[in-house]
Structure 1
Amino acid sequence: MKKADFGIGLFLIIAIIFLIVPMNSTLLDIFLALNISVAMVVLFNAMFSKEVLNMSAFPTILLFTTIFRISLNVSSTKLILTTGDPGNVVRTFGSFVAGNGNLVIGLIIFIILILVQFLVINKGSERVSEVTARFTLDAMPGKQMAIDADLNTGAINDVEAKRRREKIQEEAAFFGSMDGATKYVKGDAIAGLIITIINMAGGTIMGVMYLGQSAGEAFQHFAVLTIGDGLVSQIPSLMISLATGVLVTKVSKEADLGDLLVRQLFSIPKVLYMVGGSMIFLGVVTPLNVVLFSAYGIIFIISGRAIAAKLEVTEIENEVSLEEASANEIRKPENVVSLLQVDPIELEFGYGIIPLADANQGGDLLDRVVLIRRQIALELGCVVPMIRLRDNIQLNPNQYIIKIKGIQVSEGEILFDHYMAMNPGYVEEEITGIPTFEPSFHLPAIWITESQRERAESLGYTVVDPPSIIATHLTEVIRSHIHELLTRQDVQNLVNNIQEANQTLISELVPKLLNIGEIQKVLQNLLSEGISIRDLVSIFETLADYAPTTRDTDVLTEYARQSLKRAISGKYFPSGEMTSVVTLDPKVEQEIMNSVKQTEQGAYLSLDPGVTKEIIESVQAEVQKLEELGKNPIIITSPIVRMYFKRLTQDYFKDLIVVSYNEIDNNVELQSVGMVTV
C-alpha cells in the first residue's frame, strides 16, 4: 500500500473512531492543531493554484475535512460536559475572547463569526458553484465543436485534441461536484451553531448538578469553554469556506491570486493619484483625522509615482528589446534564405492599374484571379499555385508584367477607362481609336472610349474591358507554363486525392512501379501539349499497365495519350464536322525513326541539319495552307513517330498540334489537305 493511501485511510478512521471513543485533552489538542494546519494548507493552495483543475480533488478534501472537524467537535463536547477540561487549545481560544469576564462580547463575536461564514462566504460560494456548474455544462458542446474545428483545420493534432477534451470533462465533473460539496460547508456551520448552544446549556446544567457550582459560576465557566470550542472548530471551517470561495471564483489561468490582485489593483498610476488626492481632500476639508488621511494620501501618491517610473523603465526596456530583436532578426542568416524564395506566378503592375486590383475602388481583378485558378483546374485538372499580385512603381503607370518563377515571361499595357475592340475578321467598317495589339494572341486591336463601345459592338467588334484583357492574358500564360509549375508535391497531393477511392491502383503503382518524380514527368509532358490530366485514374491505370515493360517517361506519355484519345478527339476534332489536317510522309517518318538514338538517359533525335531544314520548310508551307482555310494547324503521324516529330517542330511552331492515329476516336471524320514531305 502506498504511504499516501495509508495516511488518508488513517485520517478517516481516526475521524470515525473519535465520534464514538472518548479521547483525553492532550490528544484533542494535537488533533485540533492538526485540523487548523490542514485548513491553512487548503486555503493557501486554493489561493495560489493557477487554475481550478490544479485542485480537482477539492470536493473530496472538503468532505474529509468536514468529517474530521465534526469528530473533533464531538470529542471536545464530551470533554466539556464530562470533565469541564477540554484541553489547552480550547481554553486558550475561549480566554482570548472572554478572558476579561465579559461573556456578552465573547458570545456576540462568536455569533458574528458564525453569521459571516454562513450568510456571506458559504452562501456566495454555493451560488457561484451552482452557476458555474450550469454554465460549464452548457458550454461543453461549443467547446467540443471548437476542438473538432481546430483538429480538422490542422491547428492541433490528435494528442492535443484528446487532452483538451479530457480537460473539458474534468472541468464539468469538478464544478458539478463543487455544486454539491458546498452543501457540506453550509451544514457544518449550522451544526457548529447547534453544538455551541447544546454545550452552553448542557455545561451549565452539568456544573450545577454534578460539580456543585452555582448557576452563575457554571454559566461563566462553561460559556468560556463553549466559545473556545466553537472558535477552534469554526475558524478552520471559515478557512475551508474561504478556500471554497477562492477556488470557485478563480478565473485567471496566467498567474496565482497574489500576482493577479496586485497587478490588477496597483498597476495604473492615475488611479493611485486620484485615490491619494481624495484621501488628502477628506482629511483637510472634513473633520476626519487630517494626519491619518493625509498620510494615506501621500502613500498612495508616492506609490503611484513609483509605479509610473517602473512602467516607463519597462516601456524603454521593451523598446530596446524590440530593437535588439529586430536587429538580431536582420542578422540571422535565415533571413537571407527567405529572400531566395520565388513566387511561382507573379502579376506586377504600375500604379495606374491599382484601382483594378483594389476592391475598395470597385476593382475585381482579385476575383478574376480566383476564377482563373478554378477555370484551369476544371480545364486541365491541375491546381494552379497562388498568384501573387503586387504593384511596381518602376513600371509605367498602365504597364503590367507576368513572371513565372521570378522571371518575366510576358507583358502588356492597357489604357484605363478605355476598351479594346478587335475585328473578328468579317467587320468591314472601321472605327477610330488608338491602334494596339491584343497581348494574349498578338492580334491587331483598337483602344476605344466608353462612348464608342455600343457602336463598336453593334458593328460586330469584340469589345473587352481592361480587367478582362489582363485576366485573359494571365490565363494564357498559365496554360502555356502550367507544366513548369507542377511540382512533386503537387503530384503527391493529386495522388492522395484519389487514393482513398483507388487504393489498389495506387498501392500497385506508387512506388513499386514508378516513383513520384517519374509520374511528374509524364503529367508534365501531357500538360505541356495542353492535354488535361483530370482523368488521373485512366492515366494511372495505363502507367500501371506499361510501367513493368518500360520506365521511359516519354514512351509512357504516349501510352497515356492513347488512353485519353476520347478527350483528345473532343478537344481538337469537333463532333459531326469534317476536320482538315496534314499528314506526314511515310518516308519522313522512316527518316526520323532511323535518326533516333537510345541512351541511358532516354532517346533523342539526331537528324541531319539539311533534312531538318527541309522538314521545317514543308511544315511551314502546310501549316500556312490550314491557316488560310481558318483551321487549326494539326498534323497526323504514326504513334511511334509522334513524340519525336513534336520535339523536332516545337521550337519553330508554338501552336502546332501533333496527334497520332491511335489518339483519334473512331467516329472522327478527317480530311487531309496536304502532306509534310522532303
Structure 2
Amino acid sequence: MKSGLTALGVPVGVVGIVLLLVVPLPAAMLDFLIVFNIAMALVVLLTSMYVKRPLDFSVFPSLLLVLTLFRLGLNVASTRLVLRDGYAGEAIGAFGNIVVGGSLVIGLVIFLILVVIQFAVITNGAGRVAEVGARFTLDAMPGKQMAIDADLNSGLIDEDTARKRRAEVAAEADFYGAMDGGSKFVKGDAIAGIIITIVNLIGGFAVGMMQMDLSPQESIEKFSMLTIGDGLVSQIPALLLSVSTGLIVTRATASADMGTATSTQLTQSRVALLIAGAASIALALVPGLPKLPFVVAGAALLIAGQRAGARDRALAAEAAELPAVAGPGAPEPDSPEALMEQMRVHALEIQLAPDLVDLVGGGSEQDLLARVRGLRRKVAMDLGLVIPPVRTRDSVDLPRSTYVVKIAGVEVGRGEAPQGRLLALGDHLDHLPGSPVREPVFGLSGRWIPAESRAQAELAGATVVDRVSVLVTHLGSIITANAPRLLSREDVRILVDGVKQLDRAVVDELIPSLLSLGEVQRVLHGLLAERVSIRDLPRILEGLTLRAKVATDPEGLVEAARTSLGPAIAAPYAEDGVLRVLTLDPLLEQHLVEQRRPGDDGMVLAVDPDRLERMLASLRRRLAEVERAGHDAVVACAPVLRPALRRTVATTLPLVPVLSYSEVTCAPVQVEAVGVVSDAAQVAA
C-alpha cells in the first residue's frame, strides 16, 4: 500500500502543477506551496552533497524538470493573485518587506544579484560542465566496454559482474546526457524569472493605476514590493537547484559524500595549512586591517595543520607495522606470479588499431562484442565446438584501420576496417570512391566506400557490408579453419562429462578402458579438420567403442566416427535435396587403392607425380564445370581410399569435401553424378 502511494505521488504532483497554471489558488494555499518549494530545493541541494556518486542520484534530471515546472506554476499563480487582488499571501509579503527592509532599491539590487549569480555564474558553468561531461563519457564508452570484456576474458570478473559493470557504463552515459539537457531547464528558468518579474512590474503598475485608482507612486510602491517578493521566493529555490546541478555534474567518482571528501582532501597537506595559518596571522599585523578575525582564522588553520601532521604520523606508523602483521600483500610487478600472468597466452584474441576502438560498445547491430558472442553460439551449433572467450584489446603497434586475429598468440589473420566506411562487393565499381581491396574470406573484389555512398553502391548492384560484419565473418572463417587448434584437452573433458550425465554407459565403456582422453581428442581434431560437426558426441563415442575393440590407429578411429555419424556428414552438402557427386574413373580408383602406403599421419598415395597432377587438374576442371552451372559438388570414392585421397586433395583444394560411398548412399538425399575424374591420358583417349 505504501509503495503504491509513493508511486502515485509524482504523477499526481505533475497533474497538480498543470492545474496551477489554470486554476486560481487562495493566498493561504500559495503560502503553503511556496514553503514546500523552498524546502524541496533545500532537500535536493543537501542530497547532492551527500551522495557518493552522481549515479546514486540518477533521478535528478527528471526531478529538476518537475521542480522547475512547479516553480513556474507558482509564478503564474502568484502573478494572478498580485495583479487581481494586490495580495499574494504572507510569504511573498514577508520577502518583499522584511528580507529587503521595505526598500525598493535594496529589493531590486538583491534580486538582480541573485539572477546574475544564478544565470551568469552557476547555470552557465554547470551547463558547460554537463556538456563536456556528456561528450567525454560517450567518447570513453568503447574503451570502458573493451576493458570490461578484457577483464571477463581474463577471468578477473564473472559474467554477472561484467553485465553489472556494462549496465553502469550505459547508465552513466545516459545520466550525463540527461544532465546536459537538464542544465538547459535551469538556464531557461532563470530567463523566465527575469521576464516574469518585468511583466509583473509593468502589469502591476498598470493595474494599480487603472483598476485600483492608485496614484503612480502608490502603484509603484505596492506592486514593486509584491513583484520583488515574488521574484525572491522564486529565485531562492531556483538558485538552490542551480547549485545542486553544479554539484552533481562536477562530482567525480568518490567513496564518500562531499563533506567527508572535502574535509579529508583539504587537510591532506599539513604544510599548506601551516603556511595559510601563518599568512593569516601576518595579515593581522598590517595597519588598518581587523586583527581579531585574521588571528582567529590563522589559529584555526595552525591547529588544523598540527592535527593533520599527527594523523599523517599515525598512518605512517600503521603502514610500517602492516607487513609484519598482515604478511605479504599483492605480488610485486616483477614477481613470478605477476610475470606468469603477463606470459599467459590467450587461445583466441582480436587486436584492434586505436582508431577501431569504436567497434566496441556501439549499437546492438554494430557492437563487436555482441556479434562475437553470437558467433560463438553459431559455431557451437554448427560444429559442436565451444570456442574459448575471445579476448579483445587495442594495440598501438598496429597500422591505422587494421585488426589482427591471433590463436595461441600467433597471428592467423589480418584485415582492415576503416572508420566511417562500408565494404562494397561486386564488379565494375570503379566509379565509386575508395581504393580497391580483396575481401579476406572469399577473395571477392570490392571497395571501402564512404558511408554516404551506400545508396549509390547498391544502385550499381554491389553488396554493401558494414565493418563489424566484415571482421566477424573473417573471424568465423578463421575459427572454422582452425577449429582443431581451439579444441583443448580440457574442452574435451567438459564435453565428455556432459555426455556422461546423459549416457554414462557409453563413456564408461570407452574411457579410459579402451581409449584415453587424448586419443578421443585426436579423433575430434580429425573430424573438425574436415569440418565435420562433433555435436552428436554420444554417437561418435559409440562408433569409437566398436572400433577401439579391434584397433586403435588414429585414422581408423576417425573413419569409425564418420561411419557412426552417417547421414549427418553428407546432408549439409546437398542442395534442394540433391547431392551432386564427382566420382573417380574405376581404373584410376583401383590404381590409387593399390598405391596406398602408410605414413606418419596415416595412409598416403605413392603415385607418380605427373599422373597425380593430371588427376588433380581433371578434378579442378570438373569442379569448374559444376560451379559454372551454379552448383557445388563433393568427391566420392571407396571407403578404404577416402583418408588418403582426402589428404592428397587437401594440398591444393582444401575446401573440397571427400566422402566415401557409404557416407553418400546413406544420406536421405538424391545422389546425382555430375562428372568423372580421370587422368589426362584417359581424358585424351
Q: TM-score interval w.r.t. the shorter chain?
A: 0.5 to 0.7
1:230 deviation in Å? Answer: 0.6
1:536 deviation in Å? Answer: 6.5
1:549 deviation in Å? Answer: 9.7
Report the secondary structure of 2:508's partner residue: coil
Matches within 5 A, 1:460-609: 493-494=488-489, 496=491, 512-514=507-509, 547=545, 570=600
Matches within 5 A, 1:347-366: none
1:218 deviation in Å? Answer: 2.4
Contact 1:47 1:257 in 2 (8 A): yes
Q: Report what 1:283 is aligned to.
A: 284
Give the 3 Å change call, closer, same or farther, for CA 8–550 of structure 1 in structure 2: same
Matches within 5 A, 1:206-225: 206-225=207-226
Contact 1:543 1:560 in 2 (8 A): no
1:220 deviation in Å? Answer: 1.8
Q: Report what 1:190 is aligned to.
A: 191
Q: Aligned partners of 1:322 and 1:511: how far apart in 2?
A: 55
1:175 maps to a residue whose letter is: Y
Q: Report what 2:112 is aligned to.
A: 111
Q: Aligned partners of 2:488 and 2:197: how far apart in 1?
A: 78
Q: Aligned partners of 1:271 and 1:156: how far apart in 2?
A: 41
1:7 deviation in Å? Answer: 1.4
Q: Report what 1:37 is aligned to.
A: 39
Q: Aligned partners of 2:155 and 2:305: how far apart in 1?
A: 47
Structure 1 residues 341-397: Cα deviation after superposition (integer angstroms, max 9, x where no partner):
xx9xxxxxxxxxxxxxx9xxxxxxxx9xx9xxxxxxxxxxxxxxxxxxxxxxxxxxx
Q: Aligned partners of 1:71 and 1:562: how far apart in 2?
A: 86
Matches within 5 A, 1:431-450: none
Q: Report what 1:579 is aligned to.
A: none
Equivalent of 1:87 in 83, 86, 89: 89
Contact 1:495 1:506 in 2 (8 A): no
2:113 maps to a residue whose letter is: I
Q: Aligned partners of 1:63 and 1:536: how far apart in 2?
A: 63
Q: Report what 1:98 is aligned to.
A: 100
Give the 3 Å change call, closer, same or farther, for CA 512–18 of structure 1 in structure 2: same
Q: Report what 1:52 is aligned to.
A: 54
1:212 deviation in Å? Answer: 3.7
Contact 1:117 1:241 in 2 (8 A): yes
Q: Aligned partners of 2:524 and 2:197: how far apart in 1?
A: 88
1:35 deviation in Å? Answer: 0.8
1:145 maps to a residue whose letter is: M
Q: Aligned partners of 2:299 and 2:515: how far apart in 1?
A: 78
Structure 1 residues 240-292: Cα deviation after superposition (integer angstroms, max 9, x where no partner):
11111111111123111111111111222111011111112222256423332
Contact 1:510 1:516 in 2 (8 A): no
Q: Aligned partners of 2:492 and 2:65: how far apart in 1?
A: 57
Q: Aligned partners of 1:183 and 1:563: how far apart in 2?
A: 73
RMSD of the TM alignment (CA)? 4.4
Q: Aligned partners of 1:39 and 1:511: how far apart in 2?
A: 72
Equivalent of 1:18 in 14, 20, 24: 20
Q: Larger Rg: 1 or 2?
A: 1
Contact 1:98 1:224 in 2 (8 A): no
Q: Report what 2:127 is aligned to.
A: 126
Give the 3 Å change call, closer, same or farther, for CA 39–519 of structure 1 in structure 2: farther
2:168 maps to a residue whose letter is: K
1:310 deviation in Å? Answer: 2.2
Q: Report what 2:400 is aligned to.
A: none
Contact 2:208 2:214 in 1 (8 A): yes
Q: Aligned partners of 1:510 and 1:98: how far apart in 2?
A: 93
1:512 maps to a residue whose letter is: V
Q: Aligned partners of 2:311 and 2:231: how far apart in 1?
A: 48
Q: Aligned partners of 1:567 and 1:323: how far apart in 2?
A: 70
2:27 maps to a residue whose letter is: S
1:116 deviation in Å? Answer: 0.7
Q: Aligned partners of 1:70 and 1:172: how far apart in 2?
A: 29
1:148 deviation in Å? Answer: 2.2
Q: Aligned partners of 2:540 and 2:205: how far apart in 1?
A: 106
2:251 maps to a residue whose letter is: K
Structure 1 residues 434-480: Cα deviation after superposition (integer angstroms, max 9, x where no partner):
xxxxxxxxxxxxxxxxxxxxxxxxxxxxxxxxxxxxxxxxxxxxxxx
2:206 maps to a residue whose letter is: I
Give the 3 Å change call, closer, same or farther, for CA 563–74 of structure 1 in structure 2: closer
1:544 deviation in Å? Answer: 5.7
Contact 2:523 2:557 in 1 (8 A): no
Q: With structure 1 as the length reference, what TM-score do the two structures score?
A: 0.53
Contact 1:121 1:242 in 2 (8 A): yes
Structure 1 residues 481-514: Cα deviation after superposition (integer angstroms, max 9, x where no partner):
xxxxxxxxxxx9515169889x999998997235
1:302 maps to a residue whose letter is: I
Q: Report what 2:235 is aligned to.
A: 234
Confirm whether residue 75 of structure 1 aligns to residue 112 of structure 2.
Answer: no
Q: Aligned partners of 2:540 and 2:128: how far apart in 1?
A: 72
Q: With structure 2 as the length reference, what TM-score do the two structures score?
A: 0.52
1:46 maps to a residue whose letter is: S
Contact 1:542 1:560 in 2 (8 A): no
Q: Report what 1:205 is aligned to.
A: 206
Q: Aligned partners of 2:19 and 2:263: how far apart in 1?
A: 45
Q: Aligned partners of 1:13 and 1:570: how far apart in 2?
A: 84
Confirm whether residue 304 of structure 1 aligns to residue 305 of structure 2.
Answer: yes
Q: Aligned partners of 1:110 and 1:183: how far apart in 2?
A: 21
Contact 1:509 1:544 in 2 (8 A): no
Q: Aligned partners of 1:323 and 1:305: how far apart in 2?
A: 29
Contact 1:513 1:544 in 2 (8 A): no
Report the secondary structure of 1:156's partner residue: coil
Structure 1 residues 628-660: Cα deviation after superposition (integer angstroms, max 9, x where no partner):
xxxxxxxxxxxxxxxxxxxxxxxxxxxxxxxxx
1:81 deviation in Å? Answer: 1.3
Give the 3 Å change call, closer, same or farther, for CA 275–507 of structure 1 in structure 2: same
1:178 maps to a residue whose letter is: M
Give the 3 Å change call, closer, same or farther, for CA 513–269 of structure 1 in structure 2: same
Structure 1 residues 122-173: Cα deviation after superposition (integer angstroms, max 9, x where no partner):
1111111111111122222222222222222222222222222222222222
Q: Any unmatched runs of 5+ in structure 1?
A: 330-342, 344-357, 359-366, 371-491, 527-531, 577-678
1:186 maps to a residue whose letter is: K
Give the 3 Å change call, closer, same or farther, for CA 561–192 of structure 1 in structure 2: closer
1:235 deviation in Å? Answer: 0.7
1:320 deviation in Å? Answer: 4.1
Q: Report what 1:250 is aligned to.
A: 251
Q: Report what 2:263 is aligned to.
A: 262
Q: Report what 1:466 is aligned to.
A: none
Matches within 5 A, 1:309-388: 309-326=310-327
1:546 deviation in Å? Answer: 6.7
Q: Any unmatched runs of 5+ in structure 2?
A: 330-335, 346-486, 528-536, 559-595, 607-685
Q: Aligned partners of 2:280 and 2:510: how far apart in 1?
A: 82
Give the 3 Å change call, closer, same or farther, for CA 570–76 of structure 1 in structure 2: closer
Give the 3 Å change call, closer, same or farther, for CA 66–533 of structure 1 in structure 2: closer
Q: Report what 2:137 is aligned to.
A: 136
Task: Please say which of residues 51-60 and 18-27 is displaced more in the overlay.
Answer: 51-60
Q: Aligned partners of 2:541 and 2:199: how far apart in 1?
A: 96
Q: Report what 2:165 is aligned to.
A: 164
Q: Report what 1:5 is aligned to.
A: 7
Q: Aligned partners of 1:144 and 1:287: how far apart in 2?
A: 61
Give the 3 Å change call, closer, same or farther, for CA 97–510 of structure 1 in structure 2: farther
1:326 deviation in Å? Answer: 2.9
1:246 maps to a residue whose letter is: L
**Once the two structures are aligned, what percentage of the paired residues are identical?**
38
Contact 1:122 1:241 in 2 (8 A): yes
1:521 deviation in Å? Answer: 6.3
Report the secondary structure of 1:18's partner residue: helix
